[in-house]
Amino acid sequence: MAMTLHVHIVSAEESLYSGTAEVVIAPGLRGELGIYPRHTPLLTTLKPGSVRIKVPNQAEEELVYVSGGILEVQPHVVTILSDSAIRGADLDEAKALEAKRAAEEAMKDKTASLNYAQAQAELAQAVAQLAAIKKLRKLT
């Protein structure tokens, strides 16, 4: 039997995943992080993207989109806290494409720096959601 760790993914609205995993791959600010059982303790921030979870005795990975957040690793527990998170199966490509288009339109007006910064953040999240959808399609 493979070594496992326990994973919790929690958003402001709900707990999205709680279970065992052989490995967790998360979108760190400087690149993807691969977390295996008995990993060195770690606390870091995440950028918008997909968290992939390799569940024991399951061929396909679980995928959860996070809008960024905090990742805490203990030797046998991984906890991800995110303002917003969506299960991979619940991602809506049409909605993400519309959000991307709206953010790009808002970025054309560079006069209001606050709106421009917000549009940049919304664009990053929409692009990350589309990338998660693309990864999900490859997995199935």
pTM over 0.85: no
Domain boundary among 69, 88, 107: 88
**Residue ranges making up the domain that contains 38:** 5-88
Residue 71's domain is classified under what CATH number? Answer: 2.60.15.10
Model confidence at 137, in pLDDT bands (50, 70, 90)?
A: low
**Residue 69 pLDDT level (bands cut at 50, 70, 90):** very high
pLDDT at 101 over 80: no
pLDDT in tens, 74-94: 989 999 999 888 887 776 667
SS3 letters across the chain: CCCCEEEEEEECCCEEEEEEECEEEEEECCEEEEECCCCCCEEEEECCEEEEEECCCCCCCEEEEECCEEEEEECCEEEEEECCEEEHHHCCHHHHHHHHHHHHHHHHCCCCHHHHHHHHHHHHHHHHHHHHHHHHHHHC
Give the residue from 72, 88, 104 where a domain finishes. 88
pLDDT for 112? 56
- Looking at the structure, tell me whether residues 79 and 10 fall in a common domain: yes
